[in-house]
C-alpha cells in the first residue's frame, strides 16, 4: 500500500482555504463586471468636435460637413461617467455631459453656435417673398443664413437654445445694416413660421381680410401697382376705380352687373378688398381702370398715334391660379398684387386699353385672418 504524505495534504488544505476566502471577497481571479452604455449623438455643429471619456477620444465628427458620429458603445467601468466635448485640436471643454448610470441608452444633444454648445435646438421656418433683394438672417448679430437672390425664401433654420433663454433673430437686405424685422425666439417657438412679403422697403407681415358676406362669392384683397415699365401709357395720378364687367368665355359676350361693381384703389397703394358675386360656369370678370368717381380713363397715351380708351369689359383677363387655372373661386379669399397691362385694339388698332391682372399671390407669404 502506498503511503500518504500527511504534511502535503495539510499544505494543500490550507492553500485551498485561502483561495476560497479570496474568491469570496472578489480579490482574485475575477475582474469587475464591465458597465456598457450606448451613446447616441443628436443635433448639429458647424465646427469639428472630439468626444472624450477620460483622456481618450471615443468619437469625433465626420470630416465632411462635421456630421455627428454614429452611436457608440462605451465601457464606463472605472471612469467618472462624463463625456467631455472639445473643438478638434483645442483643449477647452465646450460642454460636459453626465452619463445616466442606470440607463443603457444615453442621448447627447449637441447644438453648436458661436463657441457654445446648447442643450436643445428648435426648428424655425422661413416662408418669405422679397422683391428686388436678397436677405441675410442674423442670430444674436451673427449671420446664420443668406439667400442672395430675390424671390422666395423657404428654409428651416435650426436655432440652438437653452430652456428659458431668449435669442434675437433679425433680417436685413443682403449687405445692408438696417434691420427689416426682428423676432425674439424662445424654446416655445419650435416649428414657428416667419412670414412676410417685402416690396422695396415695404414689409407686409399681417393682413386682416374681411369675411365673405355671401359664402358663394369670392373676394380679392389687393394692392394695385400703377406703373407700366416701358409702356405706351402713363398713369394720371390720384385714386383709381376698378369698374367690373362679366365676360362669357365661349361667346365673348359682355354684360355689366347691376348694381354697378366699382371698387376704389387709393393712391397710397394700400390694400383694399373687393367681393365679387358668383358668376356662371363659363363667365369671368374683367375691369376697366378709371379716375375715381368718373368714367374717364386713369391713363393717358405716350404715343401720339394712339389714344387710351375704355374697353367696357371687352379687353383684359382676370383669371386665377390656385394652383390650377380657374375663372372663379367660390368661397375663396385671394390676396394678391395687381399690375397693369396694355392691349392695342380698336377698329384701326389705334387705341390702347389698360386693364388690371394678378401678378403675384401673397397668401403663402403673409399671416392673414
80 vs 64: CA distance, rounded Å: 31
For residues 83 and 22, which has the higher predicted lDDT (pLDDT)? 83
pLDDT by residue (tens digit) across 156-184? 999 999 889 999 999 999 999 999 999 99
Question: What is the average pLDDT value for the chain, to the nearest integer?
Answer: 90
38 vs 105: CA distance, rounded Å: 5
Strand partners, 334: 220
Q: What's the angle, vertex CA 363, arms to CA 357 and CA 368, rounded to 5? A: 125
In a domain, 11, yes or no: no
Domain identity same for 138 and 224: no
Give the end of a domain, one of 81, 100, 118.
118
36 vs 191: CA distance, rounded Å: 36
Place of cell 407669404: 365
Percentage of the chain surpassing pLDDT 70?
Answer: 91
Q: Which three cell numbers stand for residue 276?
A: 365679387
Strand partners, 207: 368
Residue 297 DSSP label: B
186 vs 347: CA distance, rounded Å: 65
In a domain, 12, yes or no: no
Give the end of a domain, one of 204, 219, 241.
204
Q: Which of 93, 52, 90 is nearest to 72 (CA)?
A: 52
Confirm if 37 and 104 have CB atoms less than 8 A apart: yes
CATH at residue 175? 2.60.40.3070
For residues 102 and 364, which has the higher predicted lDDT (pLDDT)? 364
Domain identity same for 257 and 296: yes
In a domain, 361, yes or no: yes
Strand partners, 273: 221
Give the end of a domain, one of 118, 144, 178.
118
In a domain, 181, yes or no: yes
Domain identity same for 113 and 169: no
Inform me whether the pLDDT recorded for 323 exceeds 90. no
Domain identity same for 172 and 321: no
Instruction: Provide the whole-model pTM.
Output: 0.78
**Three-class SS state of 361:** strand
In a domain, 142, yes or no: yes
Percentage of the chain surpassing pLDDT 90?
Answer: 78
What residues make up the domain containing 199? 120-204
Inform me whether the pLDDT recorded for 225 exceeds 60. yes
pLDDT by residue (tens digit) across 232-249? 999 999 999 999 999 999
Domain identity same for 100 and 124: no
In a domain, 2, yes or no: no
Place of cell 433663454: 165
Residue 114's pLDDT is 84
Domain identity same for 70 and 128: no
Domain identity same for 269 and 294: yes
The count of structural domains within the chain is 3
342 vs 231: CA distance, rounded Å: 7
- DSSP letters along 29-69, please? S-PPPP-EEEEEEEEE-SS-EEEEETTEEEEE--SSTTPPP
Domain identity same for 317 and 231: yes
Domain identity same for 356 and 238: yes
pLDDT by residue (tens digit) across 293-302? 999 999 999 9
Q: Which of 242, 332, 252, 324 is nearest to 284 (CA)?
A: 252
Confirm if 226 and 235 have CB atoms less than 8 A apart: yes
pLDDT band at 16 (very low <50, low <70, confident <90, very high): low
Domain identity same for 77 and 215: no
Residue 3's pLDDT is 52
Residue 173 DSSP label: E
359 vs 217: CA distance, rounded Å: 22
Domain identity same for 215 and 351: yes
Q: Write b or e for each residue in 135-163: b if 16 or more Cβ atoms lie within 10 A of its Cβ, otherwise e.
A: bbbbbeeeebeebeebeebeeebebbbee
Domain identity same for 149 and 190: yes
Please state, in angstroms and as integers, the Cα–Cα distance from residue 169 to each residue in 56, 93, 141, following that order: 38, 27, 8
For residues 103 and 12, which has the higher predicted lDDT (pLDDT)? 103
Amino acid at each position: 500500500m502506498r503511503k500518504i504524505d500527511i504534511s502535503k495534504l495539510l499544505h494543500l488544505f490550507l492553500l485551498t482555504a485561502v483561495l476560497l476566502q479570496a474568491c469570496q471577497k472578489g480579490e482574485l481571479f475575477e475582474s469587475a463586471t464591465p458597465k456598457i452604455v450606448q451613446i447616441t449623438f443628436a443635433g448639429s455643429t458647424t465646427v469639428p468636435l472630439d468626444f472624450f471619456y477620460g483622456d481618450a477620444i471615443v468619437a469625433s465628427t465626420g470630416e465632411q460637413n462635421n456630421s455627428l458620429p454614429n452611436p457608440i458603445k462605451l465601457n464606463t467601468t472605472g471612469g467618472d461617467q462624463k463625456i467631455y466635448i472639445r473643438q478638434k485640436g483645442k483643449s477647452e471643454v465646450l460642454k460636459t455631459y453626465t452619463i445616466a448610470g442606470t440607463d443603457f441608452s444615453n442621448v447627447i444633444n449637441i447644438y453648436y453656435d458661436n463657441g457654445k454648445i446648447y442643450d436643445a435646438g428648435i426648428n424655425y421656418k422661413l416662408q418669405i417673398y422679397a422683391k428686388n433683394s436678397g436677405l441675410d438672417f442674423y442670430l444674436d448679430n451673427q449671420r446664420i443664413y443668406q439667400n442672395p437672390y430675390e424671390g422666395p425664401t423657404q428654409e428651416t433654420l435650426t436655432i440652438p437654445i437653452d430652456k428659458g433663454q431668449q435669442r434675437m433673430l433679425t433680417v436685413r437686405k443682403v449687405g445692408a445694416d438696417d434691420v427689416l424685422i426682428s423676432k425674439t425666439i424662445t424654446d416655445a417657438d419650435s416649428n414657428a413660421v416667419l412670414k412676410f412679403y417685402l416690396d422695396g422697403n415695404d414689409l407686409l407681415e399681417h393682413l386682416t381680410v374681411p369675411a365673405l358676406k355671401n359664402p358663394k362669392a369670392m373676394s380679392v384683397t389687393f394692392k394695385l401697382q400703377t406703373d407700366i415699365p416701358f409702356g405706351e401709357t402713363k398713369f394720371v395720378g390720384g385714386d383709381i376705380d376698378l369698374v367690373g364687367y362679366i365676360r362669357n368665355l365661349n361667346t365673348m359676350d359682355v354684360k355689366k352687373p347691376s348694381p354697378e361693381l366699382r371698387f376704389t384703389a387709393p393712391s397710397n397703394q394700400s390694400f383694399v378688398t373687393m367681393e365679387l358675386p358668383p358668376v356662371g360656369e363659363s363667365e369671368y370678370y374683367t375691369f376697366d381702370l378709371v379716375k375715381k368717381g368718373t368714367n374717364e380713363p386713369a391713363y393717358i397715351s405716350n404715343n401720339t398715334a394712339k389714344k387710351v380708351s375704355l374697353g367696357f369689359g371687352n379687353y383684359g383677363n382676370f383669371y386665377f391660379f390656385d394652383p390650377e387655372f380657374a375663372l372663379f373661386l367660390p368661397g375663396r379669399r385671394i390676396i394678391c398684387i395687381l399690375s397693369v397691362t396694355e392691349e392695342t385694339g380698336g377698329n384701326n388698332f389705334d387705341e390702347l386699353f389698360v386693364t388690371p391682372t394678378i401678378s403675384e399671390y401673397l397668401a403663402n407669404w403673409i399671416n392673414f385672418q
